[in-house]
């Protein structure tokens, strides 16, 4: 885990005061595991658990934790990105930082989470000590990124990453990966075949390919498929 520091630490917990955590994951077993893991750290205190994005927003406003440990893919309702956006945009929760903890590391997921205001982005495959360190960094307003995520962010900053696909292009790419033709894609997405062809041209240009198979291959290689 790595990440550049940030000087916006005005709301960081005082020395000796446990970092107050709100867990948000729609899987009760995952929350139980995190609760047991974090409970082993004397300088971390779990003050609440949320099973949905809406619940996370409401509890964050009520409890004002130092850090919300946020999963991205949640059940029915708003996802982790939208919950992050609502929390970080609310003046009443200005001191609440969101640390994404997920299994998804596609460029699209990372970009959406960071643009929504997430302080950090961690993968669930990280070791416990890396998670603890990321929590403390996030509580102090410092960026915390898993090493693979940091690499992707740096590539994008250097301009070496592929241009980001729009949501519609992402949808069409997903249909391509399923093996659908233009007519079936148009029907599935309620758009015209001409619109599908236009989007395909843009997708090919962004991915540097000129065939459907090439687009799917690059998408898989770049982990662009959700």
Contact 31, 69 (CB under 8 A): no
Render pLDDT for 153-179 as a digit per residue (tens, 0 to 9): 666 655 555 567 888 999 999 999 999
Quick one: 32 and 134 in the same domain?
yes
Domain count for the chain: 2
Domain assignment of residue 14, yes or no = no
Domain assignment of residue 199, yes or no = yes
Quick one: 30 and 65 in the same domain?
yes
DSSP 107-123: HHHHHHHHHTT-SEEEE
Quick one: 36 and 147 in the same domain?
yes
Question: What is the pTM (predicted TM-score) of this model?
Answer: 0.66
Which range marks the domain in which residue 175 is found? 167-221
User: CA dist 144 to 80, 139, 192, 202, 209, Å?
Assistant: 17, 10, 43, 33, 34
* Mean pLDDT, the chain, whole residue set: 87
Decide: helix, strand or coil at residue 148: helix
State mean pLDDT over 85-108: 90
Contact 130, 150 (CB under 8 A): no
């Amino acid at each position: 885990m790595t990440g550049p520091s940030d000087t916006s630490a005005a709301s960081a917990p005082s020395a000796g005061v446990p970092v107050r955590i709100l867990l948000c994951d729609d899987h009760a077993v995952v929350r139980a595991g995190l609760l047991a893991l974090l409970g082993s750290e004397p300088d971390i205190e779990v003050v609440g658990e949320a099973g949905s994005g809406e619940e996370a927003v409401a509890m964050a406003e009520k409890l004002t934790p130092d850090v919300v440990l946020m999963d991205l893919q949640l059940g029915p309702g708003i996802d982790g990105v939208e919950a992050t956006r609502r929390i970080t945009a609310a003046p009443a929760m200005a001191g609440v930082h969101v640390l994404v903890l997920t299994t998804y590391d596609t460029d699209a997921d990372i970009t959406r989470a960071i643009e929504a205001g997430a302080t950090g982005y961690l993968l669930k495959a990280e070791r416990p000590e890396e998670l603890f360190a990321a929590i403390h960094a996030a509580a102090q307003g410092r960026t915390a990124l898993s090493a693979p995520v940091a690499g992707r962010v740096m590539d994008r900053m250097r301009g070496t990453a592929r241009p980001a696909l729009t949501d519609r292009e992402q949808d069409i790419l997903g249909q391509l990966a399923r093996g659908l033709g233009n007519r079936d894609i148009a029907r599935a997405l309620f758009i015209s075949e001409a619109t599908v062809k236009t989007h395909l041209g843009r997708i090919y240009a962004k991915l540097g390919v000129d065939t459907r198979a090439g687009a799917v291959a690059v998408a898989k290689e770049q982990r662009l498929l959700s």
